[in-house]
C-alpha cells in the first residue's frame, strides 16, 4: 500500500517505483542512528529539567519525587551566594568580551598587513596553536609560569626589580580575573581570527587599488576599507558573544581553582556553571543545581533572541 | 608625496611584524618553558629559575612517564576513545547530513528542526548526569562514546557542503545504478575530504583534550583518560607548591627517584600535547577552507 502511495507521489521518473521506495528506505536508515542519538541524549535530558521543580530523591526516581514548585529557585535567589555568583559571572564574561572580542579583529588586520604569504602562514600556524591544547595543559602552563619559587614570570619581575618578593599569583584573589582573561585571550585569539581572515580575503582588491590612487596610506585603508568590509562578521561575532554573557567559563575556572576546592579564590571565581557543578555533582543537591542551571539557560536564550533582534533592526544582520 | 606615503606604509609593516613577532614569542614560550622543565633533573627544577635552557639535562622524566602504569593506561583510554568517537561521529553525522541534503527524503524539514533546536537549547549538567546514571553508562568506557557520536554543529557544516555539491555528480551515480549507500560512500565521501578532515580534526581534538567526562563519570582508575589524570598530577604539583610555601615539610620530591611532581607534570603535558601539535599542521590546508565554509554558512 505504501508502495502505491509513493508511486503516485513519484510521478514521472526514469527509475521504477521499487527503486524509489528502496532509495527512500535507504535514506531513512541513514537518518536513524543520528536521530536516535539526538532524541536520547538531547531531548530525554530536557524532560529531566522537571527535577528543578521537585525534591529529587535518588531512590524514588524522577517521577515519584514530590513536586515543590519554585522552592529551589527562591532558595537560589535568596542565598548569600547568589549576588556574589552573579557579580563574578557578569564581571568575568564582560572582561572576556572587552578583551577577547577586539583581539581577533586586530590580529586578523595585523596578519593581513604581512604581505609575504609564507611568513603570514607561519604566524597564523603559531597563533592558532593554543586553541588545540586542552585547558588542563593551559592550567599546567600557568602553574609553572606563575610559580612562586622560580617561575619565569616571578624570575623576570624580581630581576627587573618590579617586585621585591615573588608574588603568589595563583592564590591571590586580586589577580585571578586578570590571569583568567589573559589565558582566554592567549588561547582563543588566533583561532577566532580565522573568520575575520576569511572575510578580509574576500574583499575586492580593486577597492584597495582605488584607495591608494586617491592617496590613502595603508594605515588609512584599514579604517576606510578593511573594517567596513568585515562589519557583518564583526556584528555576528558580537551577537554570539553578547548572548553568551552568562557563560563566563567553566573548564578554565575549575582548572585554575583546583576543581573549585581553592576556597581563597572561590569568592572571585565562582560563576553559575561552576556553582551548578559544585552543588549538583559534588554535593549531590540535584534539584537545587538543576534550578540554578535552568535559570541560566532561560536568560541565555532570552539574551540570544534580544541580541539577534537588535542586530536585525540596526544592521540587517541576523543569525537565522 | 609618493616617498612620504611609502614611508608611512613602511612603518605600518614594521609595526605589524614587530607586534606579530612579540605575539609569536608569547604563544610559544609557555610550551618551551614546559619542554625545558621536562628535560631537566626533577630535583634541580624545584629550585626554579628555569627560563631558557635546561640546567641538568636528563631523559629520566620521560622514562618515568613511560613506565608509570597509570599513565600508560590513561594514554590507552584516550587513544581508543579518540579513534572510536572520531570515526563513529564522522560516519553517523555525515550520513545524517547526506540524507537531509536529499530533497526526496520524507520528513527532512522535521529532522532538521529536531536537530537545530538542540544547538540553542540544552538541558544542562545535572539532567545529563542523571540520564547517564539511569542508562548505566556511568563508570563505563561507553559514556565517552555514545553521547559524542552525533554532533549538531558538524551536521550543519556537512549539510551545507553536501548542498553545494554539483547536481551532476549525484545524477551520474544514479544513472550508473548506484543506490544511496553506494553513492554516499563511493561518490560523496571521496569528494568531501576537506570538510571531513576539518571536522574529524576538531572532533579528535575535543575528545583528546576532554577531562571533564573522566572527572564526573569515571571512578575506576583503569578508565581515567589522560587529561583527567594529568589534571590530578598538576593539582598535586600545585598543592605541594602551596604546602612548601606555607612552610610545611611536604616535599615535592617523589619518593624513590630524582623525579618531582613538577618535572613529571611537565613531561606528561608535553607527551599529551605532541600528538595534536604533530597532526594539525598537516590538516591545516584543509581546515582553513573547512572553517570558512562553516563561517560563511554559520
Write out chain A's pLDDT in tens, 320 residues: 344 444 444 444 445 667 788 889 999 999 999 999 999 999 999 988 888 898 888 788 878 888 888 888 998 999 888 999 999 999 999 999 999 999 999 999 999 999 888 899 889 889 988 998 999 999 999 988 998 888 889 889 988 988 888 888 888 899 999 999 999 999 999 989 988 988 898 899 999 999 989 888 889 999 999 999 998 888 888 888 888 888 888 999 999 888 777 788 888 999 999 999 988 888 888 899 999 999 998 998 898 888 888 877 776 666 66
Q: Which residue among B28, B238, B265 sits closest to A126, beta carbon to beta carbon?
A: B28
Put simply, the answer to whether B118 touches A135 (Cβ < 8 Å) is: no
| pLDDT value of residue A13 | 44
| pLDDT value of residue A176 | 93
Q: Which residue among B19, B30, B125 sits closest to A280, beta carbon to beta carbon?
A: B125
pLDDT over 70 at B245, yes or no: no
Put simply, the answer to whether A215 touches B1 (Cβ < 8 Å) is: yes
pLDDT over 80 at B272, yes or no: yes
| pLDDT value of residue B202 | 87
Higher pLDDT, residue A13 or B131:
B131
Grid cell in block for residue B297: 554558512
CA of B18: which chain A residue's CA is closest? A110
Residue B249: pLDDT band (50, 70, 90) is very low
Task: Enumerate residues 106 to 135 of chain B having a beta carbon within 8 A of any beta carbon in chain A.
Answer: 106, 111, 114-115, 118, 120-131
Put simply, the answer to whether A152 touches B51 (Cβ < 8 Å) is: yes
Put simply, the answer to whether B126 touches A62 (Cβ < 8 Å) is: no
pLDDT over 50 at B296, yes or no: no
Give me the torsion for CA of A303, A306, A309, A313, rounded to 10°. Answer: -120
| pLDDT value of residue A11 | 41
Chain A residue numbers touching B46 (CB-CB < 8 A): 149
Put simply, the answer to whether B114 touches A35 (Cβ < 8 Å) is: yes
Residue B32: pLDDT band (50, 70, 90) is very high
pLDDT over 50 at B250, yes or no: no
Put simply, the answer to whether A190 touches B127 (Cβ < 8 Å) is: no
| pLDDT value of residue B292 | 52
CA of A153: which chain B residue's CA is closest? B51
pLDDT over 70 at B47, yes or no: yes
Put simply, the answer to whether A26 touches B181 (Cβ < 8 Å) is: yes
How far, in Å, CA of A177 to CA of A157, rounded?
20
Cβ-Cβ pairs closer than 8 A, A with B, add up to: 286
Question: Which tens digits make up the pLDDT trace of A256-303?
Answer: 888 777 788 888 999 999 999 988 888 888 899 999 999 998 998 898
Put simply, the answer to whether A30 touches B99 (Cβ < 8 Å) is: yes
Residue B26, C-beta contacts closer than 8 angstroms, at least 6 positions apart: A186
pLDDT over 60 at B256, yes or no: no
Grid cell in block for residue A96: 572576556
Nearest-Cα distance to chain A for B118, in Å, is: 6
Q: Distances in Å between the alpha carbon of B226 and those of A105, B13, B74, B268?
A: 34, 43, 5, 9
On whether any CB of chain A is under 8 Å from the CB of B19, the answer is: yes
Average pLDDT value for chain B? 84
| pLDDT value of residue B216 | 92
Nearest-Cα distance to chain A for B72, in Å, is: 18
Put simply, the answer to whether B180 touches A155 (Cβ < 8 Å) is: no
Going by C-alpha positions, the residue among A273, A271, A270, A269 that lies closest to residue A297 is A273
How far, in Å, CA of A159 to CA of A156, rounded?
5
pLDDT over 50 at B172, yes or no: yes
Write down the residue that cell numbers 592617496 correspond to. A215
Chain B residue numbers touching A125 (CB-CB < 8 A): 281, 284
| pLDDT value of residue A6 | 43
Write down the residue that cell numbers 519525587 correspond to. A65
| pLDDT value of residue A10 | 42
Chain B residue numbers touching A47 (CB-CB < 8 A): 127
Residue B90: pLDDT band (50, 70, 90) is very high
User: Mutation test of the interface with chain A: which of B8, B65, B110, B127, choosing the one with the most A Cβ atoms within 10 A?
Assistant: B127
What is the pLDDT averaged over residues B271-277? Answer: 87
How far, in Å, CA of A177 to CA of A93, rounded?
10
Residue B83: pLDDT band (50, 70, 90) is very high
Nearest-Cα distance to chain A for B155, in Å, is: 10
CA of B146: which chain A residue's CA is closest? A37
Put simply, the answer to whether A145 touches B30 (Cβ < 8 Å) is: yes
Residue B77, C-beta contacts closer than 8 angstroms, at least 6 positions apart: B141, B222, B223, B224, B225, B226
Range scoring the smallest mean pLDDT among A2-11, A138-147, B237-246, B247-256 = A2-11
Residue A288, C-beta contacts closer than 8 angstroms, at least 6 positions apart: A72, A75, A76, A279, A280
Determine the CATH number of domain B63-297.
Answer: 1.10.3720.10
Put simply, the answer to whether B269 touches A132 (Cβ < 8 Å) is: no
Q: Which residues of A84-119 are buried (b: 16+ CB within 10 A; e: fewer)?
A: bbeebbeebbebbbeebbebbbebbbbbbbbeeeee
pLDDT over 60 at B290, yes or no: no
Residue B188: pLDDT band (50, 70, 90) is very high
On whether any CB of chain A is under 8 Å from the CB of B224, the answer is: no
| pLDDT value of residue A106 | 96
Task: Enumerate residues 44 to 83 of chain B having a beta carbon within 8 A of any beta carbon in chain A.
Answer: 46-51
Nearest-Cα distance to chain B for A95, in Å, is: 20
CA of B238: which chain A residue's CA is closest? A143
| pLDDT value of residue B278 | 82
CA of A157: which chain B residue's CA is closest? B49
Give the Cβ contact number of residue B142 at 10 Å: 13
CB A275 within 8 A of CB A85: yes
Put simply, the answer to whether B33 touches A110 (Cβ < 8 Å) is: no
Amino acid at each position: 500500500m505504501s508502495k502505491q502511495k509513493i508511486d503516485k507521489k513519484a510521478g514521472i521518473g526514469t527509475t521504477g517505483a521499487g527503486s524509489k521506495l528502496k532509495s527512500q528506505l535507504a535514506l531513512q536508515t541513514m537518518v536513524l542512528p543520528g536521530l536516535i542519538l539526538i532524541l536520547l541524549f538531547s531531548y530525554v535530558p530536557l524532560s529531566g529539567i522537571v527535577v528543578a521543580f521537585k525534591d529529587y530523591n535518588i531512590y524514588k526516581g524522577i517521577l515519584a519525587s514530590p513536586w515543590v514548585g519554585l522552592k529551589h529557585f527562591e532558595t537560589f535567589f535568596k542565598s548569600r551566594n547568589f549576588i556574589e555568583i552573579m557579580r563574578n559571572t557578569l564581571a568575568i564574561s564582560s572582561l572576556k568580551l572587552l578583551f577577547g572580542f577586539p583581539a581577533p579583529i586586530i590580529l586578523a588586520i595585523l596578519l593581513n598587513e604581512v604581505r609575504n604569504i609564507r611568513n603570514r602562514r607561519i604566524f597564523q600556524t603559531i597563533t592558532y596553536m593554543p586553541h588545540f591544547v586542552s585547558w588542563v595543559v593551559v592550567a599546567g602552563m600557568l602553574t609553572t609560569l606563575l610559580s612562586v619559587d622560580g617561575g619565569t614570570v616571578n624570575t623576570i619581575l624580581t630581576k627587573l626589580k618590579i617586585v621585591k618578593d615573588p608574588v603568589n599569583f595563583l592564590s591571590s584573589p586580586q589577580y585571578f580575573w586578570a590571569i583568567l582573561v589573559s589565558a582566554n585571550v592567549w588561547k582563543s585569539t588566533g583561532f577566532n581570527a580565522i573568520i575575520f581572515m576569511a572575510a578580509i580575503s574576500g574583499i575586492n582588491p580593486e577597492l584597495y587599488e582605488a584607495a591608494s590612487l586617491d592617496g590613502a596610506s595603508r594605515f588609512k585603508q584599514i579604517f576606510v576599507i578593511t573594517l567596513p568590509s568585515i562589519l557583518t562578521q564583526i556584528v555576528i561575532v558580537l551577537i554570539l558573544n553578547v548572548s553568551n554573557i552568562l557563560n563566563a567559563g567553566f573548564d578554565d575556572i575549575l582548572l585554575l581553582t583546583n576543581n573549585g576546592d581553592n576556597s581563597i579564590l572561590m569568592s572571585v571565581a565562582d560563576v553559575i556553571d561552576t556553582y551548578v557543578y559544585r552543588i549538583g555533582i559534588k554535593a549531590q543537591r540535584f534539584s537545587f543545581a538543576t534550578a540554578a542551571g535552568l535559570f541560566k539557560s532561560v536568560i541565555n536564550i532570552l539574551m540570544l533572541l534580544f541580541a539577534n533582534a537588535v542586530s536585525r533592526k540596526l544592521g540587517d544582520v541576523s543569525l537565522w | 608625496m609618493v616617498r612620504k606615503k611609502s614611508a608611512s606604509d613602511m612603518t605600518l609593516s614594521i609595526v605589524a611584524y614587530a607586534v606579530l613577532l612579540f605575539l609569536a614569542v608569547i604563544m610559544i614560550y609557555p610550551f618551551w618553558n614546559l619542554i625545558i622543565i621536562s628535560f631537566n633533573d626533577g630535583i634541580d627544577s624545584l629550585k626554579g629559575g628555569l627560563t631558557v635552557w635546561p640546567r641538568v639535562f636528563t631523559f629520566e622524566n620521560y622514562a618515568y612517564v613511560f613506565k608509570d602504569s597509570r599513565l600508560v593506561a590513561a594514554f590507552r583510554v584516550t587513544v581508543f576513545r579518540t579513534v572510536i568517537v572520531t570515526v563513529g561521529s564522522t560516519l553517523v553525522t555525515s550520513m545524517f547530513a547526506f540524507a537531509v541534503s536529499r530533497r526526496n527524503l520524507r520528513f527532512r524539514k522535521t529532522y532538521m528542526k529536531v536537530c537545530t533546536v538542540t544547538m540553542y537549547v540544552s538541558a544542562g549538567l545535572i539532567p545529563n548526569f542523571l540520564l547517564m546514571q539511569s542508562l548505566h553508562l556511568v563508570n563505563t568506557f561507553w559514556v565517552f562514546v555514545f553521547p559524542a557520536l552525533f554532533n549538531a554543529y558538524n551536521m550543519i557544516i556537512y549539510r551545507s557542503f553536501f548542498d553545494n555539491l554539483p547536481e551532476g555528480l549525484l545524477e551520474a551515480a544514479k544513472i550508473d545504478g548506484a543506490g544511496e549507500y553506494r553513492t554516499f560512500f563511493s561518490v560523496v565521501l571521496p569528494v568531501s575530504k576537506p570538510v571531513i578532515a576539518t571536522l574529524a580534526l576538531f572532533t579528535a581534538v575535543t575528545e583528546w583534550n576532554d577531562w571533564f567526562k573522566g572527572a564526573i563519570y569515571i571512578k575506576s582508575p583503569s578508565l581515567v583518560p589522560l587529561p583527567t589524570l594529568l589534571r590530578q598530577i598538576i593539582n598535586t604539583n600545585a598543592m605541594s607548591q602551596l604546602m612548601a610555601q606555607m612552610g610545611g615539610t611536604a616535599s615535592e620530591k617523589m619518593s624513590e627517584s630524582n623525579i618531582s611532581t613538577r618535572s613529571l607534570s611537565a613531561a606528561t603535558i608535553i607527551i599529551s600535547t605532541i600528538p595534536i601539535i604533530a597532526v594539525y599542521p598537516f590538516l591545516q590546508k584543509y581546515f582553513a577552507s573547512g572553517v570558512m565554509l562553516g563561517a560563511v554558512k554559520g
